[in-house]
């Protein structure tokens, strides 16, 4: 097990002096002149160093005769855990409801203002409450169609109030018609082209809904085979000259990843994958996060492997920058298009930031 960075009293005191919130789950400190113990991040006035004692947790501090600070409440779960528990409860309400719940109704149930609930929900899940409900409904529909359910019953079981409501947004929901999705993507038509970029060859594919794949490699045949594996039942056509503007925009984004691609995107996945991908797109160019940090950002701190799988399922290289996720020890881990290419992408971004 990796040793905590707060394993010495000097390191702990430094965390107290800087009010390091990252240390809140690692230890508590008490002041012998007051008999009170606090979290490292407590905003109260700092005590003298010689009056401070440290314990691993609140139970140990209380066993030593100290009482918890009323300001930072160190005997309770850390604030982020409290927030995650609150939003988890809200998600359970959303998932259990057969009808769409309004923001006001959810906020009232959570005893918060709509404004603060909306901000907290998005900070924990990566989605707004409305987007969460939409994604859940769409996921129920995809699951029903995948298991052979007829289209009309699947629509109503998923929570669509009427067939017309679904068909107006069918493309955004499935990336194809419901019948095409049910048959595994038959009759789905893709255009694609290949182009050079600073990390090798790049294949860009587009469906009727938007860019559905950005693949990296060294060999055109290998990239075309990868596209075929991703969309085995779709019709795939090599694009003509009218695709050049799209290629230019994608290559420009690859070269300058700090700029978002100004094209419609078609990235369908599970609700959890969409959460991870949205969190990935929020990582600034030139920065990296660990899989553990990313898992915490989407409200699933124990789902590190699932986060890694979602990164591996990403089809939009660089556009959804899964290359910015590294191991907790700072080392590079696996990458769908090769660790060497991942290192080159990060080095390129680091140079542009300096």
Residues annotated as catalytic are 38, 322
205/213 Cα distance (integer angstroms):
5
Contact 37, 55 (CB under 8 A): yes
C-alpha distances out from residue 103 to 116, 220, 256, 304, Å: 11, 48, 37, 30
**In the Cβ-directed half-sphere of 28, how many Cα atoms lie within 13 Å?**
26
Token pair listed for 20:
């390091």
Q: Evaluate the CA torsion angle 264, 267, 270, 273 in order and state its sign.
A: negative
Place of tokens 């492997």: 305
| Cβ neighbourhood burial of 160 (10 Å; 0-12, 13-18, 19+) | buried
Q: Provide the b/e sequence for 299-311 (b: ≥16 CB within 10 Å).
A: bbbebbebbbebb
Angle formed at CA 99 by CA 95 and CA 105, multiple of 5 degrees: 85
Non-local CB neighbours of 199 within 8 Å, separated by 6+ positions: 216, 254, 341, 344, 345, 348
Contact predicate 146/268, CB 8 Å: no
> Could you tell me how far CA 172 lies from the centroid of its own chain?
20
- CB-CB contact of 33 with 51 (8 Å): yes
Q: What 8-state DSSP symbol labels residue 204?
A: E
Nearest to 111 by CA among 77, 82, 145, 76: 82
Task: Give the DSSP H/E element, type plus range, for residue 37.
Answer: strand 36-38
């Amino acid at each position: 097990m990796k040793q905590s960075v707060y394993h010495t009293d000097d390191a702990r005191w430094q965390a107290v002096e800087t009010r390091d919130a990252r240390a809140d789950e690692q230890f508590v400190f008490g002041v012998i002149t007051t008999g009170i113990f606090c979290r490292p991040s407590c905003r109260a006035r700092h005590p003298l160093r010689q009056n401070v004692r440290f314990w691993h947790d609140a139970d140990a501090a209380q066993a030593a005769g100290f009482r918890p600070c009323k300001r930072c409440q160190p005997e309770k779960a850390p604030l982020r855990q409290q927030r995650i528990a609150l939003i988890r409860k809200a998600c359970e309400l959303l998932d259990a409801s057969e009808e769409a719940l309004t923001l006001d109704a959810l906020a009232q149930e959570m005893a918060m203002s709509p404004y603060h609930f909306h901000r907290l929900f998005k900070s924990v899940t990566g989605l707004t409450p409305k987007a969460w409900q939409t994604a859940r409904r769409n996921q129920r529909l995809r699951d029903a169609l995948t298991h052979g359910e007829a289209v009309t019953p699947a629509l109503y079981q998923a929570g669509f109030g009427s067939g017309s409501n679904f068909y107006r947004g069918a493309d955004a929901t499935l990336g194809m018609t419901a019948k095409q999705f049910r048959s595994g993507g038959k009759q789905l038509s893709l255009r694609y082209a290949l182009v050079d970029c600073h990390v090798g060859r790049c294949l860009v594919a587009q469906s009727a809904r938007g860019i559905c794949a950005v693949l990296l490699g060294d060999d055109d045949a290998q990239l075309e085979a990868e596209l075929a594996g991703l969309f085995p039942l779709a019709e795939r056509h090599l694009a003509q000259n009218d695709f050049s503007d799209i290629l230019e925009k994608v290559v420009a984004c690859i070269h300058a990843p700090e700029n978002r691609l100004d094209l419609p995107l078609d990235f369908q996945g599970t609700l959890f994958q969409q959460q991870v991908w949205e969190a990935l797109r929020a990582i600034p160019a030139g920065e990296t996060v660990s899989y553990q940090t990313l898992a915490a950002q989407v409200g699933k701190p124990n789902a590190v492997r699932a986060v890694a799988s979602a990164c591996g399922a990403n089809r939009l290289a660089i556009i959804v920058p899964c290359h910015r996720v590294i191991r907790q020890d700072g080392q590079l881990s696996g990458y769908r298009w090769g660790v060497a290419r991942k290192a080159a992408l990060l080095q390129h971004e680091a140079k542009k930031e300096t």
